[in-house]
């Protein structure tokens, strides 16, 4: 597949030749991708393929070893923290483990970005804002709870409410459904779609949950070993000819891994009981 070279103004978020190495290992290998405004782009791939690292580059939490990242046509990967602070208010980031501040209540968590960036004089309006954001994720009434007393799904929803507290233009979701039961996962999927509709925001979702990817994604990009190996809508991905893609979306283990598992030991060699070690 040949790709035309990606230009900095092709989308709201653009990476060009993005490469990241950690201690010699290549995590991201020359990734050029333009994320279109107003759409939901889903990034899929097996664990450890670099999708979370890729997402952290989009908000400059990680700096690339080589290559560039553009937000609204402006380069962001070389900015210092103070310049980034302004840009980051246009982002909402929903972390994998929710990352709510456990020393603050739900209310304080959601008002955190507002209090950090604006001089708040009207507490009533702030209360109203929190109420509205929590209502959007179906968690109104939980204002005075501490994160420790919420369930995993509830934490995720509060984290979503916090991510949208400043009405971001772009929302990044890091594995929003991981570790949740199927019904709660679907609730989160619905929320992702609802937020996109109501906030008119661009969304980027990193996931390895295919059900969620098909449901929320306008476009699906698959990463494998730090490279993009497939890029298209749900239909395109479903019928993608590449073996790795088919294995991933159907959750099938590859022949090579199976062979490795079989070689791991035969029945008689591995069936030790504790008595054998006496």
Q: Residue numbers of the site for another protein (CB under 8 A)?
A: 56, 59, 61, 81-82, 84-89, 91, 93, 95-97, 99-102, 112-113, 116-117, 162, 166
Residue 259: Cβ within 10 Å count: 10
- Using CA atoms, how far apart are residues 155 and 179, in angstroms rounded to an integer? 12
CB 219 within 8 A of CB 35: no
The residue (of 60 and 237) whose beta carbon lies closer to another protein is 60
Of 137, 136, 133, 128, which Cα lies nearest the Cα of 156?
137
Q: Which DSSP helix (H) or strand (E) runs through 166?
A: none
Residue 137 CB, nearest distance to another protein (Å)? 17
Q: Treating both helix axes as pointing N-terminal to C-terminal, what angle do 152-163 and 123-136 enclose, rounded to 10 degrees? A: 130
Residue 159 CB, nearest distance to another protein (Å)? 8
The residue (of 85 and 258) whose beta carbon lies closer to another protein is 85
Residue 59 CB, nearest distance to another protein (Å)? 6
Residue 172 CB, nearest distance to another protein (Å)? 8
What phi-psi label fits residue 13: left (phi over 0), alpha (psi between -120 and 50 degrees) or beta? beta
Q: Which DSSP helix (H) or strand (E) runs through 197?
A: helix 182-199
The residue (of 102 and 243) whose beta carbon lies closer to another protein is 102
The residue (of 100 and 228) whose beta carbon lies closer to another protein is 100
Residue 60 CB, nearest distance to another protein (Å)? 9
- Using CA atoms, how far apart are residues 205 and 171, in angstroms rounded to an integer? 8
């Amino acid at each position: 597949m040949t790709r035309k070279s990606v230009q900095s103004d092709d989308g709201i978020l653009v990476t060009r030749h993005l490469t990241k190495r950690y201690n010699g290992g290549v995590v991201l290998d020359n990734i050029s991708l333009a994320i279109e405004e107003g759409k939901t782009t889903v990034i899929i791939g097996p664990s450890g393929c670099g999708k979370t690292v890729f997402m952290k580059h989009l908000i400059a939490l990680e700096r690339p070893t080589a290559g560039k990242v553009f937000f609204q046509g402006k380069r962001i990967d070389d900015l210092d923290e103070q310049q980034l602070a302004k840009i980051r208010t246009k982002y909402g980031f929903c972390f994998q483990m929710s990352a709510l501040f456990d020393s603050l209540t739900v209310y304080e968590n959601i008002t955190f970005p507002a209090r950090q960036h604006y001089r708040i004089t009207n507490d009533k309006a702030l209360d109203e804002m929190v109420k509205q954001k929590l209502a959007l994720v179906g968690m109104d009434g939980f204002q005075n709870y501490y994160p420790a007393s919420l369930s995993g799904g509830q934490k995720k929803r509060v984290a979503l409410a916090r991510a949208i507290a400043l009405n971001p233009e772009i929302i990044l979701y890091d594995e929003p459904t991981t570790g949740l039961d199927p019904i709660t996962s679907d609730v989160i999927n619905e929320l992702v779609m609802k937020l996109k509709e109501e906030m008119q925001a661009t969304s980027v979702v990193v996931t390895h949950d295919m059900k969620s990817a098909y449901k929320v994604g306008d476009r699906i990009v698959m990463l494998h070993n730090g490279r993009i190996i497939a890029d298209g809508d749900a239909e395109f991905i479903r019928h993608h000819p590449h073996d790795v893609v088919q294995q991933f979306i159907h959750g099938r283990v590859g022949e090579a891994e199976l062979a490795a598992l079989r070689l791991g030991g035969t029945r008689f060699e591995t069936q030790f009981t504790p008595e054998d070690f006496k």
